[in-house]
Chains A and B, each alone.
Chain A
Amino acid sequence: MDGAAAYIPLTWWDLALGSLLVVANAGLSLALDLGLHKRLAISSLRMLVQLFLMGLVLTTLFKLLSPGLTALAVLVMVGFAGREVSARQDRRLKGLWSYGLGTASMMLAALLVTVLALTTALKPDPWYDPRYALPLLGMILGNTMTGVSLGLNSLTTGLYQRRAAVEARLMLGDDRHSAFSPVVKQALRNALMPIINVMSATGVVSIPGMMTGQILGGVPPAQAVKYQIMILFLIAGGVGLGALAAVFGGVHRLSDSRHRLRLDRLLPPKG
């Protein structure tokens, strides 16, 4: 294999050397009294353990090629992403909606886009081959999570802060869709802005992580670029779909069949 020749394996010593940079950060935190050294240590350790576990899990999953276990891994990933979305809300929806809406939107968007890519563009055999499915889903899910949490958060805070303006239209006999539309537009814009910014800066300012990884792994740059473009399209699709589902689900929950604004279905802000 010609690709293998260009691939330089890392040793434990290499990692130890890299970790010195984090140790230096911790020293800086101590010297400047930033109070971050403990959190730095904990988050570095977490990263270490989580990634090693992931390495183990992936190795096993790749070997077993089991559709059931792959599906389980997908569920766990989406589940954690849902928890993260819920935690990033200033004003959460009451009850199961807080967790459920974000999770369901991401599940819908990320799965749809991933399955589309697996069955049309990449076509591994079998199509659910975890070696392709899981990294692809991870990348799409990570970005969709950002879009969904930004969209939901700006919907709920927007409706809360602009409730007088929203209700003014309801009072005049407008329906909820016209009354909510300025807030909904803003929420969708906020959700899509990060991926739009990434796409404009990619290749000029930054070399995306996945492409870097592929090039370091010995893939010719022209091939790595094609993969990266594909991934960014998939991410943009996932973010758009996820944000749309989450924001319109949120509109549905924060209004009712009588077209009232239902801020009583929001929890007060944390802290």
Chain B
Amino acid sequence: MLDVRNLCRPGLFPVSLQLEAGECLALRGPSGAGKTLLLRAIADLDPSEGEVFWQGRDRNDLSGPDWRALVGYLPAEPGWWAETVGEHFLNWQGLEPILSRLGLPIEAKSWPMTRPSTGERLRLALIRALERQPKVLLLDEPTAALDAKSVAVVEALVAEKQAEGLAVLWVSHDEGQGGRVASRTLRIESGRAWAEEA
């Protein structure tokens, strides 16, 4: 279980939440409400106060990189550090099933990073995050630039990973999506968070 207790940082009131393995929690709220700040704080990308545990273990007992290997984070605008697509993955060949499922050709390995569209980049970033096999995945509008068909594929894929035990925190502006993918919803407004009744 991911246990977040009184997590706060500038722009964010203390937030507490629990997320069981295999569960998906939707995070909703207007732009600028602090959703991204919360995800970044959970992934330990910015200094924050409060406590975060995974399976009873304090994240401060792990190194930053070890914690982030456990708690994957997919930002709304993923970054790319190398020239070609393939260089961002550990083992491109092994990803063939998931690539074809998300509508990406195996030849995309040698594409220059200028070639993939915004939607293709989002899907590539999702695959990149899943390849590291995190236990928790923080998703910041992962389907914002996708067409309806791709959205359904991504939702199904994440649901499968959940069945294997992945815990998911999913930020979405789409009310319908929140209802489809998550069992509970957390609402964030002006840096405050509270549970929303289903």
Contacts and interface: CB of A to CB of B under 8 A. Distances in A.
B132 A172 contact: yes
Interface in A156-176: 162-175
Given A162-B81, A260-B44, A171 B72 contact: yes
A182 B79 CA distance: 14
Contacts of A173: 65-66, 68-70, 132
Given A260-B47, A260-B64, A165 B80 contact: yes
Interface in B43-57: 43-47
Which of A168, A174, A260 has the most C-beta atoms of chain B within 10 angstroms of its own C-beta?
A: A168
A158 to B, nearest CB: 12
Given A162-B81, A168-B80, A172-B128, A259 B64 contact: yes
Contacts of B75: 164, 167-168, 171
Contacts of B170: none
B179 interface: no
Given A171-B43, A171-B73, A259 B81 contact: no
Given A174-B65, A258-B64, A259-B65, A168 B45 contact: no
A170 B65 contact: yes
Nearest to B43: A171
A182 B46 CA distance: 22
A213 B59 CA distance: 63
Interface string A175-213: 100010010000000000000000000000000000000
A129 B125 CA distance: 62
B68 A164 contact: no
B78 interface: yes
Interface string B110-152: 0000000000000001001100100000000000000000000
Contact of B45 (A174, A182, A257, A260): A260
A162 B68 CA distance: 20
Contact of A172 (B64, B77, B129): B129
B91 interface: no
B63 interface: yes
A165 B79 CA distance: 4
10 contacts: A162-B79, A164-B77, A164-B80, A165-B79, A165-B81, A169-B81, A171-B72, A171-B73, A173-B65, A173-B68
Q: Which 10 A-B pairs have the closest CB atoms?
A: A173-B69, A164-B79, A168-B79, A258-B64, A259-B64, A165-B81, A165-B79, A175-B65, A171-B73, A173-B68
Interface of A: 162-175, 179, 182, 256-261
